[in-house]
A and B are shown apart, each in its own frame.
Chain A
Amino acid sequence: MSFVSDTRADSAVPQPPSSKLVKSTLAAVLRIFLPVLLALVVGGLILFAMGKNPLDYYGYVLNRGLFSWGGFQATLTRMVPLLLMAAGLIVAFRAGIWNLGGDGQFLLAAVITAALAPALIQVMPRSLMIICCIVVSVAVSALWALLPALLKARYGINEIITSLMMSFLGISFANVLVKLVFRDPTTTVPQTPDLPVADRLPRLFDTTVHAGILIALVVIVLVHIMMTRTSFGLKLQIVGANPRAAVHAGLNVAWLTIATFALSAGLIGLAGSIEILGVWGTVRADWNPAYGLVVVPLVFLARFHGIGTIGFTLFFAILMIGGESASRRIGVPQHYVLVLVALLLLFLALVEYLDQLWRKRVKD
């Protein structure tokens, strides 16, 4: 977990510039980009072994995800849920709370928004409808996270397990809601009533990118400022870095744990709500983009740094958007991107381990 601590020390205490700093920055850059590079190379080798040209694949990825106008807009749109979920995870992870219930929290908020929006738009203007949907969905997600939060705060039960289990429950529950409660009776496919395109989040200028990207960018910057510049953020980091010191300093650890969970789940809920208001307008039964677990490695790669996360989500959104069409063109499974994610995680851990070993050797 040392890299967790690195971020904390850096953010709490900016180091003065020196040659040592240049060296450590270089090392940090290596620690971040080496896993990415290795994942791309080994991913390429796997493609090669499958008889495909890896350069073609990566070329398509870049072309479609970054260098074509339509693709780039899709990439920016995809960044929205990723960024907001990352913001939620940063809050939790920096406080030492491993909220892995992101998918359940995301999907519940999405379903609530999808159910509310078409109904509310009948009785109120669009802006008010959007605000209402967001508030209610965020509240539902935060409430959903209350159970693991209370179990952790009151009984010290490991939140990794409880939040992950709650995630499965949340996904299933969201499906139940779609199929039994909010189902649109006019369609054959079980799904919620559609929110007309004109009533969704406004688009930016002449693009297909919706206003959610602005919300997401503002939120991630605000989260970063909160964690590094406010007393609340500092308290959360103390709870994360040394819970016993938090008790010693008189911090209300139970309350902070619950607040962290609520905030984290709320931000993830915001991601779900905005994804429906901006892109889909409806939730189909069994729809689950499963962003929750792919965002986790991104947040780790960025070492819980809010601004750094923007870069990594961009990278990953390119990979997702470009990868979808690249897979189709050269004929590999669509989920090949997930193979890259898995490789990334492996190499992330490996580089971290080697780094530890190296530091230890330097110390000795």
Chain B
Amino acid sequence: MAQETVSARAAGASSGRVPAIAVTGITKRYPGVVANDDVSLAFHAGEIHVLLGENGAGKSTLIAMLAGMQQPDSGEILLAGRPMRLTSPRVSLDHGIGTVFQHVLLVPSLTVIENLMLGGPWWQRLNKAPALARFAELSGLLGVSIDPDAQIGRLSLGQQQQVEIMRALWRGEQVLILDEPTSMLTPQGVRDLGEVLKRLRDKGVAIVLITHKMQEAYEFGDRISVLRLGRLVGSIEPGRRATMSQHDVTEEVIHLMFGARDKTGGEVDVLLGQHRRRADRNIANQSPRLIVRHLSTVAERGECPIRDVSFELRPGEILGIAGVDGNGQKHLAEVLAGQRPAAEGEIVIGDRNVTVGGVEARRELGLRYITDERLGEGTVGIFSVATNLVLKEIGRPPLWRNGLTLWDKVNQQARDQIRTYDIRTPSERTPIAKLSGGNIQKALLARELTETASIAIFNKPTYGLDLHNIRLARERIRDGAEKGLATIVISTELDELLELSDRIGVMFQGRLAGIVDNAGQAERQIGLLMTGAAQG
């Protein structure tokens, strides 16, 4: 294998013109959408090729076809110049095309080497020795050292991702595709990933990197291609890329992505990760709306509990909660919402101790929780939009009388909300799962942020949304705070927190490692707290 790698690199370097993998004139249609419209792209060995584009631009469809999960309607996939039909993920893997998806797809209870050995032929006995040899080979290639017998669940997310990369390269290292690989990582994790990718590139791997962050595109990309509405709208070739400043690259990409659209709109800011900090407002003299003292929870298997968390939140204030995913953010949100019992400590809303009260009691006091799992727990996917809009009001007047559902009123109210909040749906009776993520989020916001709300907890409010809806959601959060809503925003996107928050708390291993004022050198301080390197 090692020799093969070397020869592949040599071939890539000498010929240079035959791409490791290419798509020519590829088109893929879904009912009502053309996901990829006559796209032609080449991915060369020894090159990091960044694919940029908004949600819905067709990036995911393109990699799904390269990964063998979808078949193109027309057009060809060329592997080292030869047309190839990638009919299943296994075929893709056998040809050395590996994909690392956004979320870790490893079995947490198995060890590193066991995870890598999965997917072998079922009739063969597991043979660890050759697997270990391959593991050592790939460790050298990536320049990382991981214990092959460590349980996946005990590794950091960055290390888990390195194992994912190894798995993707397990049966050959021609092409490595990464779908938004940095969304789960700390700033340090992102830097480490960059090192690994550059190393792999120098060893002759063709790397396809999908991202929606301009900064990463500039830092990692040898070649940058932009997709918009299923079409390839432009590329920056390596030759040209070398001569361009960061500013030039940014300008060109923005032009490609947004075309004639107003460049001063919020989408560009979102893309660039630029944040206009909120103006300082005088909220210190108000009495806290929410007080949390020494709050702890009990964890079930695979969860991270919170330990001894204390903070105060004033009306009109936005408290950001930063941290790498899985450091107790979920438990914090759930225990505040009343979905999860507190093991210790207390929660006070206004002057009422609500530690033992459930969701309903806290909702009555104005506390609202906008969950990150919009379909997982926020809504019942097969129920209508109308039903989901009243999910937390069931049994209460005026939509219910003596326990009887007044469906006409429920539907009428839903039609009003759909109009007011611009929820794009065929009808109020459409099952909500058929809506796009942005519109489901709009429905959730409409349900939660009613006039009686006084505290709002947002868990990853923009996760999985397109730029337009990200901007809308952030505006909504800001507007709420302006109107006096005491707000908590939990997010893994540091840019988002820096843009929205007055103060930012950092979760690390279930503790609130520190709360920093969002000013000046906050970023650096937060980065240190996120990795447990500093105590705030």
Whether both chains belong to one complex is answered with yes
Interface residues of A (CB under 8 A from B): 5, 8-9, 12-16, 229-232, 234-235, 237-238, 241-242, 244-245, 247-252, 363-364
User: B65: shortest Cβ distance to chain A, in Å?
Assistant: 13
Q: Complex: how many Å from CA A129 to CA B380?
A: 45
Q: In the bound complex, do residue B382 and residue A8 qualify as a contact, i.e. CB atoms below 8 Å apart? A: yes
Could you list 14 examples of A-B contacts with CB < 8 Å?
A: A13-B384, A16-B427, A229-B404, A231-B404, A231-B405, A232-B395, A234-B394, A234-B405, A242-B379, A244-B373, A245-B377, A245-B380, A245-B391, A250-B359
Contact A8 B383 (CB under 8 A): yes
Q: Which residues of B contact A (CB under 8 A)?
A: 30-31, 337-339, 358-360, 363, 369, 371, 373, 376-384, 386-387, 391-392, 394-395, 400, 403-405, 407, 427, 429, 431
Of A231, A232, A245, A252, the residue contacting B379 (CB under 8 A) is A245
**Contacts A9-B384, A241-B383, A242-B377: A231 and B431 contacting too (C-beta < 8 A)?**
no
A231 touches B358 (CB 8 A): no
Whether B391 and A249, one on each chain, are in contact in the complex, defined by CB atoms closer than 8 angstroms, is yes
The interface residues of chain B lying within 8 Å CB-to-CB of A252 are 358
A364 to B32, CA, bound (A): 11
Within 8 Å by CB of A249, from B392, B403, B405, B429, lies B392
Q: Chain A's nearest CB lies how many Å from the CB of B445?
A: 15
A13-B392 in contact given A242-B377, A244-B377, A245-B377 (Cβ < 8 Å): no
* Across-interface contacts of B403 in A (CB, < 8 A): 230-232
Taking a contact as CB atoms under 8 Å apart, the answer to whether A230 and B377 are in contact is no
Q: Contacts A231-B400, A241-B382 hold; do A15 and B429 have CB atoms under 8 A apart?
A: yes
Contact between chains at B358 and A234 (CB < 8 Å): no
CB B384 to nearest CB in A, in angstroms, measures 4
Let me know if A248 and B405 touch, CB within 8 A: no
Q: Are A231 and B395 in contact (CB under 8 A)?
A: yes
Further 14 A-B residue pairs, CB within 8 A, beyond A235-B395, A245-B380 = A5-B382, A8-B382, A9-B384, A13-B383, A14-B429, A229-B405, A231-B405, A238-B383, A241-B380, A241-B383, A245-B378, A248-B377, A250-B359, A250-B392
Q: Are B359 and A234 touching (Cβ within 8 A)?
A: no
Q: Residues of B contacting A12 with CB < 8 Å?
A: 383-384, 387
CA distance A230 to B394 in the complex (A): 9
Q: From A230, A235, A247, give the contact of B404 (CB < 8 A).
A: A230
In the complex with contacts A229-B404, A234-B405, A238-B391, A249-B359 CB distance below 8 A: yes
Please give, as numbers and ranges, the residues of chain B lying within 8 Å of A16 by CB-CB distance.
427, 429
Which residues of chain A come closer than 8 Å to B386, judged between CB atoms? Answer: 13
Which residues of A are found within 8 Å of B395, using beta-carbon distances? 231-232, 235
Minimum CB–CB distance for B32 against chain A, Å: 11
Q: What residues of A have a CB within 8 angstroms of the CB of B338 in the complex?
A: 250
Distance between B335 CB and nearest chain A CB, rounded to angstroms: 13
Nearest-neighbor residue (CB-CB) of A244 within chain B: B377
- CA gap between A5 and B359 in the complex, in Å: 26
A1 CB to closest chain B CB, in angstroms? 10
CA distance A252 to B395 in the complex (A): 13
Shortest beta-carbon contacts, A-B, top 4: A250-B359, A231-B395, A13-B384, A244-B377
The complex places the Cα of A211 from the Cα of B376 at a distance, in Å, of 47
> A230 to nearest B CB, angstroms?
5
Which residues of chain B have C-beta atoms less than 8 A from A5's C-beta? 382
**Nearest residue, chain B, Cβ from A14:** B429
Q: Return B518 CB to nearest CB of chain A, in Å.
A: 29
B383–A250 CB distance below 8 A: no
Q: Which residues of A contact B431 (CB under 8 A)?
A: 9, 13
Residues A242 and B31 in contact, CB atoms below 8 Å apart: no
